[in-house]
Amino acid sequence: MAEAFLTRWGPMPGRLERPGALQFTAYVALAAFVLWSFQGAGWSFSALVSGGPAMADFLSRAWPPSLERLPQLSKALVETFQMALAGTIIGIIVSLPLAVLAARGLTRQTPISRVFYTSSRLLIALFRTVPDLVWALVFVISVGLGPFAGTLAIAVDTIGFCGRFFAESMEDVEKGPSEALTAAGAGKFDTIFCAVVPAAMPSFITTSLFALEKATRSSVVLGLVGAGGIGIELKVAMDFFDYQLAMTIILMIFVLVLLVERLGTIARGRILEGSSR
């Protein structure tokens, strides 16, 4: 029977190896850590079940959506997308030279270049790790309420996001063309912008499209702290228990995010198709 199986289906898959004592202890510790995390998060099946009627009550009170303030909400939604687009463009422009400094092996190994490399890495890490909502609070204090604070927060968040992936894309580029230019006497600046950046450009574009999708979702939340956009409208509607208006805003946000993601998917498909030719 085993021979017939091997003849028809090929060799049988290998069995899982029996873990050693240290590995088994690590698995048990990992499982205990996961259970501890669920306990600390307050996970409760009873609360989940008991919250069902409250959710059903919210949905019944929120439907049908209210269309009374649709023109004002549409203006706020356009403002939300404007924040996302402007912040993403600013972040992409600033992140490109920062990524060049943060990419390993692109610049000459001198004490000054090492300082720039370390500083740019730390700056990108700072921008990436601090949540955009915190940046929004900082900029609301700095420049006041409104979409400008949200745009700055999105720009900083985009610098952290794109700076990291831009740097990794340039590090992964094939070294042959840049080495050929260097052997021909080209300088570092010429090598980077004539060989490395063009080769990494498809990755730059796809990363930028992902950043725009991310910024569109983030711009909605930033409005909750007064950084402009439709988020403040959603907060006011929820505070006044105007659930029908809140449902309208939620559906408008859903359509905007879905549209941006769909357009981004189409653009990425075109770019990947063009780069593979």
Say yes or no to pLDDT of 76 above 70: yes
How confident is the model over 179-208, as pLDDT tens digits?
Answer: 666 666 666 666 766 667 677 777 788 888
Quote the pLDDT of residue 221: 80
- Assign a CATH topology to domain 83-275: MetI-like fold (1.10.3720)
Mean pLDDT taken over the chain:
77
Quote the pLDDT of residue 106: 66
For the record, the structure tokens of 187 come out as 């300088």
Quote the pLDDT of residue 15: 58
Domain boundaries, the chain: 83-275
Percent of the chain with pLDDT over 70: 77
Quote the pLDDT of residue 143: 81
Query: How distant is the alpha carbon of residue 127 from its chain centre?
Result: 12
Enumerate residues 6+ apart whose C-beta is below 8 A from 124. 95, 98, 99, 102, 159, 160, 163, 164, 167
Task: State the pLDDT confidence band at 229, using cuts at 50, 70 and 90.
Answer: confident
Hey, how many other C-beta atoms are within 10 angstroms of the C-beta on 174? 10
Task: State the pLDDT confidence band at 262, using cuts at 50, 70 and 90.
Answer: confident
Task: State the pLDDT confidence band at 271, using cuts at 50, 70 and 90.
Answer: low
Quote the pLDDT of residue 242: 78
Which of 3-12, 26-35, 143-152, 200-209 reaches the highest mean pLDDT?
Answer: 26-35
Quote the pLDDT of residue 42: 72
Quote the pLDDT of residue 125: 84
Say yes or no to pLDDT of 13 above 60: no
H/E/C letters for each residue in the chain?
A: CHHHHHHHHCCCCCCCCCCCHHHHHHHHHHHHHHHHHHHHCCCCHHHHHHCHHHHHHHHHHHCCCCCCCHHHHHHHHHHHHHHHHHHHHHHHHHHHHHHHHHCCCCCCCCHHHHHHHHHHHHHHHHHHHCCHHHHHHHHHHHHCCCHHHHHHHHHHHHHHHHHHHHHHHHHCCCCHHHHHHHHCCCCHHHHHHHHHHHHHHHHHHHHHHHHHHHHHHHHHHHHHHCCCCCHHHHHHHHHCCCHHHHHHHHHHHHHHHHHHHHHHHHHHHHHHHHHCC
Per-residue pLDDT averaged across 22-26, rounded?
82
Gap between the Cα atoms of 227 and 181, Å rounded:
47
**pTM for the predicted model, two decimal places:** 0.74
Do 85 and 152 meet the contact criterion of CB atoms below 8 Å apart? Answer: no
Per-residue pLDDT averaged across 157-174, rounded?
80
How confident is the model over 28-38, as pLDDT tens digits?
Answer: 888 888 888 88
Quote the pLDDT of residue 202: 75
Quote the pLDDT of residue 169: 79
